[in-house]
Amino acid sequence: MTTLSAKDVRPPRQRPPGALRRAVSRNLTAYGFLSGALICFAFFSWIPMVREFILSFQKTNFVNSTEWVGLENFRTVLDDPAFISAWVNTAIFTLLALVFGYIVPFVFAVVLNEIRHAQGYLRLIVYLPVMLPPAVAVLLFKWFYDPGAGLFNQALGVVGIPPLSWLDSTTTALPSLVIVSTWMNLGTGTLIYLAALQSIPSELYEAAELDGAGLFKRVWHITIPQTRLILLVMLLLQIVATMQVFIEPFLLTGGGPENATVTVAYLMYQYAFSFGNFGGGGALGLMLMLVLIVFSAFYLRVSRDRT
Protein backbone atom coordinates (compact mmCIF):
# COMPACT_ATOMS: atom_id res chain seq x y z
CA MET A 1 0.00 0.00 0.00
CA THR A 2 1.40 3.39 -0.99
CA THR A 3 1.37 6.18 1.55
CA LEU A 4 0.95 9.71 0.22
CA SER A 5 2.63 12.53 2.01
CA ALA A 6 1.18 15.98 2.45
CA LYS A 7 3.38 17.25 -0.39
CA ASP A 8 1.93 14.69 -2.79
CA VAL A 9 -1.63 15.69 -2.04
CA ARG A 10 -2.10 18.98 -3.82
CA PRO A 11 -5.32 20.95 -3.98
CA PRO A 12 -6.78 21.49 -7.44
CA ARG A 13 -5.47 24.49 -9.29
CA GLN A 14 -7.62 27.50 -8.73
CA ARG A 15 -8.29 29.92 -11.56
CA PRO A 16 -6.89 33.33 -10.66
CA PRO A 17 -9.54 35.79 -9.56
CA GLY A 18 -11.07 37.52 -12.56
CA ALA A 19 -9.54 35.13 -15.14
CA LEU A 20 -12.90 33.59 -16.01
CA ARG A 21 -14.45 37.02 -16.37
CA ARG A 22 -11.61 38.15 -18.67
CA ALA A 23 -11.90 34.98 -20.80
CA VAL A 24 -15.64 35.45 -21.18
CA SER A 25 -15.11 39.12 -22.00
CA ARG A 26 -12.56 38.25 -24.70
CA ASN A 27 -14.88 35.64 -26.21
CA LEU A 28 -17.83 38.00 -26.14
CA THR A 29 -15.76 40.64 -27.90
CA ALA A 30 -14.70 38.15 -30.58
CA TYR A 31 -18.26 36.91 -31.02
CA GLY A 32 -19.45 40.50 -31.19
CA PHE A 33 -17.13 41.30 -34.09
CA LEU A 34 -18.00 38.01 -35.77
CA SER A 35 -21.74 38.49 -35.35
CA GLY A 36 -21.73 41.59 -37.55
CA ALA A 37 -20.15 39.69 -40.42
CA LEU A 38 -22.51 36.74 -39.91
CA ILE A 39 -25.56 39.01 -39.88
CA CYS A 40 -24.43 40.72 -43.10
CA PHE A 41 -23.69 37.36 -44.70
CA ALA A 42 -27.09 36.00 -43.72
CA PHE A 43 -28.89 39.16 -44.85
CA PHE A 44 -27.18 39.39 -48.24
CA SER A 45 -26.62 35.67 -48.97
CA TRP A 46 -28.67 33.15 -47.02
CA ILE A 47 -31.95 35.06 -46.84
CA PRO A 48 -31.96 35.83 -50.62
CA MET A 49 -31.15 32.16 -51.31
CA VAL A 50 -34.12 31.01 -49.22
CA ARG A 51 -36.32 33.68 -50.81
CA GLU A 52 -35.25 32.57 -54.28
CA PHE A 53 -36.06 28.95 -53.42
CA ILE A 54 -39.56 29.94 -52.31
CA LEU A 55 -40.02 32.28 -55.28
CA SER A 56 -39.26 29.52 -57.79
CA PHE A 57 -42.51 27.80 -56.77
CA GLN A 58 -44.64 30.94 -56.84
CA LYS A 59 -46.28 33.17 -59.42
CA THR A 60 -45.98 36.80 -58.40
CA ASN A 61 -45.04 40.23 -59.65
CA PHE A 62 -44.75 41.68 -56.10
CA VAL A 63 -47.84 43.82 -56.78
CA ASN A 64 -50.79 41.42 -56.93
CA SER A 65 -51.40 38.40 -54.72
CA THR A 66 -48.90 35.54 -54.67
CA GLU A 67 -49.97 32.14 -55.99
CA TRP A 68 -48.25 28.81 -55.40
CA VAL A 69 -47.83 27.07 -58.77
CA GLY A 70 -45.61 24.10 -57.94
CA LEU A 71 -43.28 23.20 -60.81
CA GLU A 72 -44.98 25.41 -63.41
CA ASN A 73 -42.11 27.92 -63.41
CA PHE A 74 -39.63 25.15 -64.11
CA ARG A 75 -41.76 23.85 -66.99
CA THR A 76 -42.00 27.36 -68.43
CA VAL A 77 -38.25 27.81 -68.28
CA LEU A 78 -37.50 24.37 -69.72
CA ASP A 79 -39.86 24.99 -72.66
CA ASP A 80 -38.12 28.26 -73.52
CA PRO A 81 -35.94 27.90 -76.67
CA ALA A 82 -33.41 30.25 -75.08
CA PHE A 83 -32.92 27.90 -72.11
CA ILE A 84 -30.59 25.48 -73.90
CA SER A 85 -28.77 28.36 -75.62
CA ALA A 86 -28.19 30.05 -72.26
CA TRP A 87 -26.64 26.96 -70.68
CA VAL A 88 -24.54 26.15 -73.75
CA ASN A 89 -23.29 29.75 -73.96
CA THR A 90 -22.52 29.77 -70.24
CA ALA A 91 -20.58 26.51 -70.53
CA ILE A 92 -18.60 27.75 -73.55
CA PHE A 93 -17.91 31.07 -71.83
CA THR A 94 -16.70 29.23 -68.72
CA LEU A 95 -14.37 26.97 -70.72
CA LEU A 96 -12.91 29.88 -72.69
CA ALA A 97 -12.56 31.93 -69.52
CA LEU A 98 -10.65 29.06 -67.90
CA VAL A 99 -8.22 29.02 -70.81
CA PHE A 100 -7.67 32.79 -70.79
CA GLY A 101 -8.79 34.07 -67.40
CA TYR A 102 -7.22 31.21 -65.43
CA ILE A 103 -4.00 30.47 -67.32
CA VAL A 104 -3.06 33.96 -68.56
CA PRO A 105 -2.85 35.50 -65.04
CA PHE A 106 -0.67 32.57 -63.94
CA VAL A 107 1.68 33.17 -66.87
CA PHE A 108 1.81 36.87 -66.03
CA ALA A 109 2.61 36.02 -62.39
CA VAL A 110 5.44 33.67 -63.42
CA VAL A 111 6.94 36.33 -65.69
CA LEU A 112 6.64 39.04 -63.02
CA ASN A 113 8.23 36.71 -60.48
CA GLU A 114 11.24 36.28 -62.77
CA ILE A 115 11.69 40.03 -63.27
CA ARG A 116 13.97 41.54 -60.63
CA HIS A 117 13.73 45.23 -61.52
CA ALA A 118 10.72 47.59 -61.56
CA GLN A 119 8.43 44.79 -60.36
CA GLY A 120 6.31 47.24 -58.36
CA TYR A 121 5.55 49.40 -61.41
CA LEU A 122 4.69 46.33 -63.47
CA ARG A 123 2.31 45.11 -60.76
CA LEU A 124 0.58 48.49 -60.83
CA ILE A 125 0.20 48.37 -64.61
CA VAL A 126 -1.23 44.85 -64.49
CA TYR A 127 -3.65 45.80 -61.69
CA LEU A 128 -4.91 49.00 -63.38
CA PRO A 129 -7.92 47.32 -65.11
CA VAL A 130 -9.26 46.22 -61.71
CA MET A 131 -9.40 49.85 -60.56
CA LEU A 132 -11.90 50.71 -63.28
CA PRO A 133 -15.59 50.20 -62.45
CA PRO A 134 -16.82 47.14 -64.40
CA ALA A 135 -19.39 49.18 -66.33
CA VAL A 136 -16.71 51.65 -67.44
CA ALA A 137 -14.37 48.85 -68.51
CA VAL A 138 -17.11 47.14 -70.52
CA LEU A 139 -18.15 50.37 -72.26
CA LEU A 140 -14.49 51.06 -73.05
CA PHE A 141 -14.33 47.76 -74.89
CA LYS A 142 -17.58 48.59 -76.67
CA TRP A 143 -15.67 51.43 -78.29
CA PHE A 144 -12.71 49.12 -79.01
CA TYR A 145 -15.09 46.72 -80.79
CA ASP A 146 -16.82 49.43 -82.85
CA PRO A 147 -16.94 48.21 -86.50
CA GLY A 148 -16.02 51.62 -87.92
CA ALA A 149 -13.81 53.57 -85.53
CA GLY A 150 -12.91 50.81 -83.08
CA LEU A 151 -9.30 50.38 -81.99
CA PHE A 152 -9.22 46.66 -82.82
CA ASN A 153 -10.42 47.06 -86.41
CA GLN A 154 -8.00 49.94 -86.96
CA ALA A 155 -5.17 47.69 -85.76
CA LEU A 156 -6.32 44.96 -88.15
CA GLY A 157 -6.41 47.47 -91.00
CA VAL A 158 -2.75 48.35 -90.39
CA VAL A 159 -1.73 44.75 -91.17
CA GLY A 160 -4.16 44.43 -94.09
CA ILE A 161 -6.88 42.37 -92.39
CA PRO A 162 -10.49 43.40 -93.15
CA PRO A 163 -12.55 44.69 -90.21
CA LEU A 164 -14.55 42.26 -88.11
CA SER A 165 -18.06 42.58 -86.71
CA TRP A 166 -16.88 41.68 -83.23
CA LEU A 167 -20.21 41.94 -81.40
CA ASP A 168 -22.58 41.47 -84.34
CA SER A 169 -21.37 38.05 -85.47
CA THR A 170 -22.48 34.80 -83.86
CA THR A 171 -18.92 33.51 -84.32
CA THR A 172 -16.98 36.29 -82.59
CA ALA A 173 -19.51 37.74 -80.11
CA LEU A 174 -18.98 35.26 -77.27
CA PRO A 175 -15.15 35.14 -77.54
CA SER A 176 -15.21 38.95 -77.53
CA LEU A 177 -16.97 38.89 -74.17
CA VAL A 178 -14.36 36.45 -72.84
CA ILE A 179 -11.60 38.90 -73.81
CA VAL A 180 -13.34 41.66 -71.84
CA SER A 181 -13.76 39.44 -68.79
CA THR A 182 -10.13 38.30 -68.94
CA TRP A 183 -8.85 41.88 -69.13
CA MET A 184 -11.02 43.07 -66.23
CA ASN A 185 -9.91 40.26 -63.89
CA LEU A 186 -6.29 39.95 -65.01
CA GLY A 187 -4.85 42.05 -62.20
CA THR A 188 -6.58 40.24 -59.34
CA GLY A 189 -5.60 36.78 -60.53
CA THR A 190 -2.03 37.83 -61.28
CA LEU A 191 -1.44 39.31 -57.82
CA ILE A 192 -2.93 36.27 -56.06
CA TYR A 193 -0.71 33.93 -58.07
CA LEU A 194 2.30 36.18 -57.52
CA ALA A 195 1.78 36.12 -53.75
CA ALA A 196 1.66 32.32 -53.88
CA LEU A 197 4.83 32.16 -56.00
CA GLN A 198 6.77 34.41 -53.64
CA SER A 199 5.92 32.12 -50.71
CA ILE A 200 7.88 29.28 -52.34
CA PRO A 201 11.37 28.89 -50.78
CA SER A 202 13.97 30.40 -53.11
CA GLU A 203 16.34 27.52 -52.29
CA LEU A 204 14.24 25.21 -54.46
CA TYR A 205 14.72 27.42 -57.51
CA GLU A 206 18.42 27.94 -56.78
CA ALA A 207 18.99 24.18 -56.55
CA ALA A 208 17.07 23.66 -59.80
CA GLU A 209 19.15 26.33 -61.56
CA LEU A 210 22.36 24.65 -60.37
CA ASP A 211 21.08 21.42 -61.91
CA GLY A 212 20.58 23.25 -65.21
CA ALA A 213 16.76 23.42 -65.12
CA GLY A 214 15.25 26.06 -67.37
CA LEU A 215 12.20 28.20 -66.68
CA PHE A 216 9.71 25.67 -68.02
CA LYS A 217 11.13 22.81 -65.93
CA ARG A 218 11.21 24.99 -62.81
CA VAL A 219 7.57 25.95 -63.33
CA TRP A 220 6.49 22.37 -64.03
CA HIS A 221 8.41 20.63 -61.24
CA ILE A 222 8.47 23.33 -58.54
CA THR A 223 5.96 26.13 -59.09
CA ILE A 224 2.87 24.10 -59.98
CA PRO A 225 3.30 21.43 -57.25
CA GLN A 226 4.00 24.09 -54.61
CA THR A 227 0.95 26.15 -55.55
CA ARG A 228 -1.53 23.36 -56.29
CA LEU A 229 -3.89 24.36 -53.46
CA ILE A 230 -4.16 27.99 -54.56
CA LEU A 231 -4.58 26.75 -58.14
CA LEU A 232 -7.55 24.65 -57.02
CA VAL A 233 -9.05 27.59 -55.13
CA MET A 234 -8.66 29.87 -58.14
CA LEU A 235 -10.16 27.21 -60.39
CA LEU A 236 -13.29 27.05 -58.26
CA LEU A 237 -13.56 30.84 -57.99
CA GLN A 238 -13.11 31.17 -61.75
CA ILE A 239 -15.84 28.64 -62.48
CA VAL A 240 -18.26 30.19 -59.99
CA ALA A 241 -17.63 33.72 -61.29
CA THR A 242 -17.82 32.92 -65.00
CA MET A 243 -20.98 30.84 -64.69
CA GLN A 244 -22.68 33.93 -63.27
CA VAL A 245 -21.49 36.26 -66.04
CA PHE A 246 -24.00 39.04 -66.60
CA ILE A 247 -22.58 42.53 -67.06
CA GLU A 248 -20.70 41.75 -70.30
CA PRO A 249 -23.69 40.44 -72.30
CA PHE A 250 -25.99 43.00 -70.66
CA LEU A 251 -23.95 46.05 -71.69
CA LEU A 252 -22.26 44.84 -74.88
CA THR A 253 -24.65 42.59 -76.80
CA GLY A 254 -28.01 42.40 -75.03
CA GLY A 255 -27.84 38.63 -75.45
CA GLY A 256 -27.53 38.85 -79.24
CA PRO A 257 -26.95 38.27 -82.00
CA GLU A 258 -29.53 35.47 -82.25
CA ASN A 259 -29.11 34.51 -78.57
CA ALA A 260 -25.41 33.86 -79.19
CA THR A 261 -24.43 35.57 -75.93
CA VAL A 262 -27.45 34.83 -73.75
CA THR A 263 -26.19 33.40 -70.46
CA VAL A 264 -28.10 31.87 -67.57
CA ALA A 265 -27.68 34.98 -65.42
CA TYR A 266 -28.80 37.24 -68.27
CA LEU A 267 -31.83 35.02 -68.95
CA MET A 268 -32.70 35.26 -65.24
CA TYR A 269 -32.65 39.04 -65.57
CA GLN A 270 -34.89 38.88 -68.65
CA TYR A 271 -37.46 36.68 -66.93
CA ALA A 272 -37.59 38.85 -63.83
CA PHE A 273 -37.33 42.39 -65.17
CA SER A 274 -38.19 42.17 -68.88
CA PHE A 275 -40.98 39.56 -68.78
CA GLY A 276 -42.15 40.27 -65.21
CA ASN A 277 -41.93 36.54 -64.43
CA PHE A 278 -40.09 36.56 -61.12
CA GLY A 279 -40.93 32.91 -60.52
CA GLY A 280 -39.22 31.91 -63.76
CA GLY A 281 -36.18 33.95 -62.81
CA GLY A 282 -36.16 32.26 -59.41
CA ALA A 283 -36.36 28.82 -61.03
CA LEU A 284 -33.37 29.60 -63.24
CA GLY A 285 -31.48 30.95 -60.24
CA LEU A 286 -32.19 27.78 -58.27
CA MET A 287 -30.90 25.62 -61.13
CA LEU A 288 -27.73 27.69 -61.37
CA MET A 289 -27.23 27.54 -57.61
CA LEU A 290 -27.49 23.74 -57.62
CA VAL A 291 -24.90 23.49 -60.39
CA LEU A 292 -22.52 25.74 -58.44
CA ILE A 293 -23.06 23.65 -55.29
CA VAL A 294 -22.01 20.55 -57.24
CA PHE A 295 -18.81 22.27 -58.38
CA SER A 296 -18.11 23.46 -54.84
CA ALA A 297 -18.64 19.98 -53.40
CA PHE A 298 -16.30 18.53 -56.01
CA TYR A 299 -13.67 21.12 -55.12
CA LEU A 300 -13.96 20.36 -51.40
CA ARG A 301 -13.58 16.65 -52.09
CA VAL A 302 -10.51 17.13 -54.27
CA SER A 303 -8.85 19.62 -51.92
CA ARG A 304 -9.45 17.33 -48.93
CA ASP A 305 -7.85 14.40 -50.76
CA ARG A 306 -4.80 16.48 -51.68
CA THR A 307 -4.14 17.89 -48.22
Q: Which of helix, strand or coil describes residue 211?
A: coil
Distance CA 225, CA 229 (A): 9
Residue 146 pLDDT greater than 80, yes or no? yes
Calculate mean pLDDT across residues 173-178.
94
Distance CA 69, CA 295 (A): 29
Q: Backbone phi, then psi, for 116, in 5-degree steps?
A: -100, -20
Residue 2 pLDDT greater than 60, yes or no? no
Confidence of residue 82 (pLDDT cuts 50, 70, 90): very high
Give me the percent of the chain exceeding a pLDDT of 70.
90
**DSSP one-letter code for 169:** S
Residue 256 CB partners (closer than 8 Å, separation 6+): 173
- Please state which of the ranges 10-14, 172-176, 295-299 shows the lowest mean pLDDT: 10-14
pLDDT digits (tens, 9 = 90+) for 220-273: 888 989 998 888 888 888 888 899 999 999 999 999 899 999 999 999 999 988
Residue 17 pLDDT greater than 60, yes or no? no
Highest average pLDDT, of 69-73, 95-99, 173-177, comes from 173-177
CB 182 within 8 Å of CB 104: yes
Residue 116 pLDDT greater than 70, yes or no? yes
Cis preceding-peptide flag for 257 (omega within 30 of 0): yes
Confidence of residue 47 (pLDDT cuts 50, 70, 90): confident
CB 270 within 8 Å of CB 256: no
Instruction: Tell me what the pLDDT averaged over the chain comes to.
Output: 85
- The separation between CA 261 and the C-alpha centre of its own chain, rounded to angstroms, equals 19
Element (H, E) at 49: helix 47-55
For position 26, what pLDDT does the model report? 66
Confidence of residue 305 (pLDDT cuts 50, 70, 90): low
Superfamily of segment(s) 72-306: MetI-like (1.10.3720.10)
For position 302, what pLDDT does the model report? 74
Confidence of residue 193 (pLDDT cuts 50, 70, 90): very high
For position 153, what pLDDT does the model report? 92
Among 237, 221, 205, which residue's Cα sits nearest to residue 105? Answer: 237
Domain boundaries, given as residue ranges, for the chain: 72-306
